[in-house]
Structure 1
Amino acid sequence: MTEQQGEDPRLAGLRYAVARLRRELAAYPSEFGDRGIAEEELAAMAAMAVAGDPEIQRMRRSLLLIVGSIGSVSALAPTLMDVREAVDLFGGLAR
């Protein structure tokens, strides 16, 4: 992709969804045991999105860890689903 074609909308969507979940997680008042894992994996996903060439397998691994870490926090579920949908736009795992 060249600069003239503009940015991949999937990357913009991923950055937005990850940033939103990071904000909501930071504002979530209760502590839970795996919060640090979720924060680390969201930071990794944000870095991949900023770099512009995310590794699909790594994103999916991060997503699984995030879901496992905060999946039971219902207040974060809608935003977590947005991150999942953003990751899904990149397609399946490379074989």
Structure 2
Amino acid sequence: MWGETVRSETMEQWGAVSAGRGTETDPRVVELGNAVRWTRRELDAYPADLRDRREAERVLDALAATVRSGVPAPEELRDSLLVLAAAVGSVSALSRPLAAVRAAVELFGAAPRATR
């Protein structure tokens, strides 16, 4: 099952982003895949020049690959979310898709609390 095709400016190619084989049974992975595709679509459609666009694209490409590979590691997801938020978090046009990525990442569990 393949998702929609999106353009990667960093890779300068088109490719499919999907939820991956065997992951349909894990709704968290499906939700993350949907959020990543939505964010990627909105980023690709955003006309303004963003200083960190390439970094945001790299993170979205990595998240899409993680989704295709199966159940992602929560810590890696949180790290990716932080980089993505830093890259596009101030762009109001991308706030809803970014919030969807955050909500999907949170489905994989809360960050462990730091101990003193």
**TM-score, normalised by the number of residues in structure 1:** 0.89
**Mapped contact 1:57–1:94 kept (Cα < 8 A):** no
Structure 1: gaps of 5 or more residues: none
State the number of aligned residues. 91
Shift of 1:7: 1.2
Shift of 1:93: 3.8
Which structure exhibits the higher relative contact order, with contacts defined as CA atoms closer than 8 Å and separated by 6 or more residues? 1
Decide which structure has greater strand share.
2
Superposed, which structure 2 residues align to 1:1-95 within 5 Å?
7-93=25-111
Quick one: distance in 1 between partners of 2:110 and 2:67? 17
Deviation per residue, 1:50-72 (Å, 9 max, x gap): 11120111111010000000001
Structure 1 segments of 4+ aligned residues over 2 angstroms from their partners: 92-95
Please report the RMSD computed on the Cα atoms of aligned residues, expressed in angstroms: 1.5
State the percentage of identical aligned residues.
46
Shift of 1:94: 6.1
Structure 2: gaps of 5 or more residues: 1-21
Decide which structure has greater helix share.
1
Quick one: distance in 2 between partners of 1:9 and 1:32? 32
**TM-score, normalised by the number of residues in structure 2:** 0.74
